[in-house]
Amino acid sequence: MVKTLAALPDGPVTVSGWVETVRDQKKVQFVILRDESGAVQLVNPATREVEEGADAAASARLATTEAISALAHGSFITVTGELKHDERVKLGGLEVKIASLDVVTEANPETPIAADSSLDKRMDWRFLDLRHPKQALIFRIQTTFLHALRGVWVEKGLIEIQTPKLMASASESRAELFEVEYFEGKAYLAQSPQFFKQMAQAAGFGGVFEVGPAFRADPSFTSRHATEFTSIDTEISWINSHEDVMALHEELMVAGFTAVVERHGAEIAELFGIELQVPSRPFPRIPLAEAKQIVADRGYVIPRADDDMDPEGERQISAYVKETFGHDFVFLTDYAASIRPFYHMRHEGDASLTNSYDLIYNGVEISTGAQREHRIDVLVEQARDKGMDPEELEFYLDFFRYGVPPHGGFGMGLARVLMLMLGESSIRETTYLFRGPTRLLP
């Protein structure tokens, strides 16, 4: 790999990769070769012609020169040559003088996308788009981030689960569910592992986590919505309130950001122009009613008829938190029961509010968490309050008829976190292969 060359002494090497650029000068040729680990400069003293009867070596040098002249961007080649460390070489301080070149696969000379191509065009040719070091770095960051989260979960003794994505009935409502044919009947693609996470609490697992796909039949075309996305979920038992869930959420985020900054901070600064910071604990916490008043005092009145924040309200409260606390994160707490699912626990003494929160990061909601209602009689009544038929929820309600501890958890969109972390404009940039209302390819 290219990244291993720096540690090698001057001498013979073999390296493979994609052709990034070719500078075909009269007396010398330069090729920038890139693989997944980095780029290196190749150099070839050009031989433009040979005399009749020249030896095989001269003919081979001419063939190499002609092959380099014909190289198209993206061709995959293998080169054997002499490695030389030279501080004058801008790209890594080393270069390889070509002895032989093998064109493993040729690329079409006309590249379908360029640096200024539209996002939709780049998504059409995603495999080429991902060759760019900036795009590839996103998914190295994702790997580091998730590995750090798993480290926290495993250290705390949580169990990783893989919940089914085919469901017999809706978890909340059928409004945002994809219905699919299932033999002689119908099934639904899961919009959340919520019920199955809670089943694990009834099963005595104590705490679980999952990183997996979720599906929302939501015809939104915003920069932060997708019909299929990767959801980060966790659920823990033996909590006293949603504060315990928020404390775990903070710990996970700090661990993830710490790992990303330590491993990729310099690359992020170079390619994204961002000096990524590890958030401090505790994250600010603001009850929703207070947050809406803060936003109103800043001159923006949320026009929604319900009791929720809207996107501009999220941006405004984040700006306030940044100005007041110097923090990029804020928990908005105590959401109204009217806009929360039936399984969110309500405040003791005030059933109009729930033990729940949204986590806002850089002006965008990335997660919803809550303490769950674990008392069967209360749960049934809250389902009825939402206009739901408890009989359709029997498999779920059975979890609570045989003893379940107080518990809570959260779900968080992975692509949104990465989008906001790296200052990208759309989750399409931070999703390996995006799925939306009009995109099922590639």
How many Å apart are CA 97 and CA 80, to the nearest integer? 8
User: Does 88 count as an annotated binding residue?
Assistant: no
Length reported for the chain: 442
Distances (CA, A) of 155 to 85, 129, 158, 203, 204: 44, 37, 8, 21, 18
Is there a binding annotation on residue 372?
yes
Residues 6+ apart with CB under 8 A from 422: 138, 141, 268, 272, 274, 429, 430
- Could you give the residue ranges of the DSSP H alpha helices within 70-212? 119-124, 126-129, 133-155, 194-202
Query: What's the one-letter identity of residue 49?
Result: E
Backbone angles phi, psi at 107, to 5 degrees: -100, 150
What's the token pair of residue 419?
Answer: 């989008």
Confirm or deny that 172 is annotated as ligand binding. yes
Is beta strand 329-333 parallel, antiparallel or unpaired with respect to 285-287? Answer: parallel
Q: Is 114 annotated as a binding residue?
A: no
Residue 189 marked ligand-binding: no
* CA–CA distance, 323 with 78 (Å, rounded to integer): 53
150 is in an annotated binding site: no
Residue 166, strand partner residues: 189
Q: Is 49 annotated as a binding residue?
A: no
Q: Which residues are annotated as a binding site?
A: 172, 216, 365, 368, 372, 413-416
Q: Which residues are annotated as a binding site for ATP?
A: 365, 413-416
Q: Which residues are annotated as a binding site for L-aspartate?
A: 172, 216, 368, 372
